[in-house]
Amino acid sequence: MSKKAKSATKTETIDGLKTAAEGAQLPSVSRIEEHSLLPLTPDANKQTPAVGQRTTRYDARPHLTGQTMYIDDMTFPNMLHMKILRSQHAHAKILSIDVSEAEKMPGVVATLTGREIPVNSYGPSYQDQPVIADDRVRHHGDPVAAVAAETEQLAKDALEKIKVEYEPIPAVFDPLEAMEEGSPKLHGETNVYASKVIKKGDAEQAFKDADLVLEKRFSTQMVEHVPMEPHASIAMWEADGNLKVYSSLGRITLGRADMARTLNMPMSRIRIIATIVGGNFGGKNEITSEPILALLSRKAGRPVKGVYTREDEFMSSTTRHPFIMDYKTGVTKDGRILGRTVRIVCDGGAYCSWSETTLGKGAILSVGPYNIDNIHVEAHAVYTNKTMTGAMRGFGAPQVCFAYESHMDDIAHELGLDPLEFRMMNAFGEESPSPTGQVLESVVVRESLETASERFGWKEWQK
Amino acid sequence: MMIDVKMTVNGQERTASVAPETTLLTFLRDSLVLTGSKLGCDVGDCGACTVIVNGNAVNSCLMLAVQADGKDITTIEGLSDFEHLHPLQAVFEQMSSFQCGFCAPGMIISAKHLLDKNPHPSKGEVQEALSGNLCRCTGYTKIVDAILELTSEEASAA
């Protein structure tokens, strides 16, 4: 294009588009229709009467009449059923897997082992988890092979015919032991796979200035989500070569990305249909057996359904992280908190899953909703030979809340202060900075505490 | 080996030929395609599969289809149709007692069984009757409240 033509176009361009159109080959726009920007919801910025009103849930009637279709209620012509063989060892090398006897059984249509998976690793933060373990199992319950058969019972029976030779290796179950140099390692050189540090002011100096310094260790346990509906999916290949998956998965876009990676195919050719979910609570936030179903379905040329048994659910779905938390807090005699240090060790189990995210949120919230100028938080996620821990309601918040609030009670007791007064004295207010420096707005900690204590008669109870 | 079973399900006589290990739940879900009753644990802990067998609330995952031969079964599908709800379903709908809904069919059957035997239960009796039905979403409060609201309404209407 000649320079002349270009400059001629330029003169017609309206002011706002001048810069963008420079050097562009497309014809420029000389006039733009004015559209007033309507809010997406008509009542935006207006107080609606919805708050405090009772409403009928859209899904109530199908649920209450038993007509809701969860995955296990769906069936497709010619559909097969999948079952997974799981490791009985917490940590072992897999020497060999022999599925030949299982394949000979009548009613068994296809089997799958880890070696057959195009890219045998996945995970929302780090891709450290095999879809099916191929050379090593890292917790009791790691999948080692899968079978698709005409009925669930046949698939279950076929699992008993699969021969797996293991060579057990030392395992580690305690996260503190796992941090030691000589401990058995799960992946690579160290078991510490994520760390977060938050520092503000000088906590050590604050302890020197304090009238009282209190230290205590808190720990929480592993918790399984136990959704009433176990993990369930159905995979099938459509005539155009695209993969279709019905799944109880909560995050379907992430699921498609993980599927594309493990199956080594474009994401655009994978369709995940999210169904009504019978309870998620964070436990259905990443793929589990979906790639297995897809590959078995490709082998068999038939739809394959996989529903976790309750045992599968407990052994091999994610759980809430157990935390070990060391708290140290320095206060003045009259109850002002000068400094706090927190050390967190998060037991991540065998694979990362959402541990990295949980660790970050847990670390940020670990100081509590209190104005403290001197803070030092150090948090680590550690591999152990246990069921992996992942997302669960609150992402680390409940663990640290239990610790800092128990710690607050202990301090109030030591100082001879009313625990409520002690909290009111130190609680966040409007524009308080969070431990990471975020300026907080709409802060109603004190108001909430006041209302709550009135409602349940805190003062009367104190007498 | 297959065994023929015949039973009355929701007022209709139903027959099927089943493998001996077939549970009543599998018979209902797979042979009769009555998928309202759910499989939650398969060991009789969660109550999602509760149905009424000859007037008793039963975990259908623990009963074989052959054991139910000749018996009278009521499942969630037998309580109502979509347009005309059972009073329990109506009060649960009105009070939004359930969330994910997976436990609802079993919970409703247990509640119906209770009210069939004891039309005016105390709160403790309601809790006792539902103790075999697990729910992970709600914390049970709204479920128990709804049943008590229904029975107190009926009491004041009578």
Q: Transcribe A160-217 into DSSP letters.
A: TT-EEEEEE------HHHHTSTTS--SSSS-SEEEEEEEEES-HHHHHHH-SEEEEEE
User: What's the pLDDT band for B81 if we cut at 50, 70, 90?
Assistant: confident
User: What's the pLDDT band for A92 if we cut at 50, 70, 90?
Assistant: very high
**Residue A43: its pLDDT value, please?**
59
| Same domain, yes or no: A328 and A439 | yes
The answer, yes or no, to whether residue A26 has pLDDT greater than 90, is no
The residue with greater pLDDT, A54 or B25, is B25
Residue A300's closest CA among A137, A98, A82, A456? A82
Sheet holding A192-200, edge to edge: A192-200, A374-383, A337-349, A323-331, A212-219
| Same domain, yes or no: A454 and A355 | yes
The mean-pLDDT minimum among A16-20, A236-240, A367-371 falls in A16-20
Asked if the Cβ–Cβ distance from A65 to B102 is below 8 Å, we say no
Tell how strand B72-74 and strand B3-9 pair up: parallel
Of the three residues A168, A190, A207, the one that is the final residue of a domain is A168
Please say whether the structural domain B3-78 has been given the CATH code 3.10.20.30: yes
For B87, nearest residue in chain A (alpha carbons): A64
Q: What is the mean pLDDT of residues B80-108?
A: 95
The mean-pLDDT minimum among A2-16, B18-32, B101-115, B127-141 falls in A2-16
Position A113 in a domain: yes
Position A109 in a domain: yes
Q: What is the mean pLDDT of residues A147-165?
A: 97
The residue with greater pLDDT, A18 or A353, is A353
| Same domain, yes or no: A200 and A249 | no
Query: Which one of A57, A68, A310 has the shortest CB-CB distance to B42?
Result: A310
Position A435 in a domain: yes
In tens, the pLDDT along B98-112 reads: 999 999 999 999 999
Would you call A57 helix, strand, or coil by DSSP? coil
| Same domain, yes or no: A301 and A434 | no
| Same domain, yes or no: A279 and A329 | no
**Residue A13: its pLDDT value, please?**
45
| Same domain, yes or no: A216 and A352 | yes
Report the C-alpha gap between B34 and B41 in whole angstroms: 18
**Residue A46: its pLDDT value, please?**
65
Report the C-alpha gap between B88 and B80 in whole angstroms: 10
Q: Residue type at A226?
A: V
For A57, nearest residue in chain B (alpha carbons): B96
Instruction: State both tokens at A348.
Output: 């991540």
User: Taking chain A, what is the end-to-end CA distance rounded to the nearest angstrom?
Assistant: 89
Q: How many CB pairs under 8 A join A and B?
A: 103
The mean-pLDDT minimum among A25-34, A182-191, B65-74, B79-88 falls in A25-34
Query: Which one of B79, B81, B96 has the shortest CB-CB distance to A57?
Result: B96
- Which CATH number do you get for residue A164? 3.90.1170.50
| Same domain, yes or no: A299 and A327 | no
Position A400 in a domain: yes
**Residue A2: its pLDDT value, please?**
41
The answer, yes or no, to whether residue A30 has pLDDT greater than 70, is no
* Domain B87-157, architecture per CATH: Orthogonal Bundle (1.10)
The alpha carbon of residue B65 is apart from the nearest alpha carbon of chain A, in Å, by 16
In tens, the pLDDT along B61-78 reads: 999 999 999 999 999 999
In tens, the pLDDT along A415-436 reads: 999 999 999 999 999 999 999 9
The answer, yes or no, to whether residue B158 has pLDDT greater than 60, is no
Chain A residues with CB-CB distance to B98 below 8 A: 57, 60, 63-64
This complex has an ipTM of 0.96
Beta strands in B49-112 (DSSP E): 50-53, 56-59, 72-74
- Which CATH number do you get for residue A250? 3.30.365.10
| Same domain, yes or no: A430 and A372 | yes
| Same domain, yes or no: A373 and A448 | yes
The mean-pLDDT minimum among A32-41, A189-198, A348-357 falls in A32-41
Asked if the Cβ–Cβ distance from B40 to A67 is below 8 Å, we say no
In tens, the pLDDT along A202-260 reads: 999 999 999 999 999 999 999 999 999 999 999 999 999 999 999 999 999 999 999 99
Position A32 in a domain: no
Under 8 Å between Cβ of A324 and A217: yes
Mean pLDDT of chain A: 92
Report the C-alpha gap between A63 and A406 in whole angstroms: 40
pTM attached to this predicted model: 0.89
Asked if the Cβ–Cβ distance from A65 to B95 is below 8 Å, we say no
Asked if the Cβ–Cβ distance from A226 to B95 is below 8 Å, we say no
In tens, the pLDDT along A107-125 reads: 999 999 999 999 999 999 9
Report the C-alpha gap between A124 and A354 in whole angstroms: 6
User: What's the pLDDT band for A24 if we cut at 50, 70, 90?
Assistant: low
Q: Which residues pair with A270 in a beta bridge?
A: A243
In tens, the pLDDT along A257-285 reads: 999 999 999 999 999 999 999 999 999 99
Q: Which residues pair with B75 in a beta bridge?
A: none
| Same domain, yes or no: A283 and A392 | no
Of the three residues A256, A291, A314, the one that is the final residue of a domain is A314
Would you call B105 helix, strand, or coil by DSSP? helix
Chain A residues with CB-CB distance to B103 below 8 A: 228
Position A206 in a domain: yes
Which structural domain, as residue segments, surrounds residue A262?
232-314
A322 reaches B (C-beta below 8 A): no
- Domain edges within chain B: 3-78, 87-157
The answer, yes or no, to whether residue A5 has pLDDT greater than 80, is no
For B88, nearest residue in chain A (alpha carbons): A64
| Same domain, yes or no: A85 and A212 | no
Position A71 in a domain: no
The answer, yes or no, to whether residue B30 has pLDDT greater than 80, is yes
Position A41 in a domain: no
**Residue A9: its pLDDT value, please?**
42
- Structurally, how many domains does chain A consist of? 3
Beta strands in chain B (DSSP E): 3-9, 12-18, 50-53, 56-59, 72-74
**Residue B82: its pLDDT value, please?**
85
Of the three residues A314, A332, A351, the one that is the final residue of a domain is A314
| Same domain, yes or no: A326 and A404 | yes
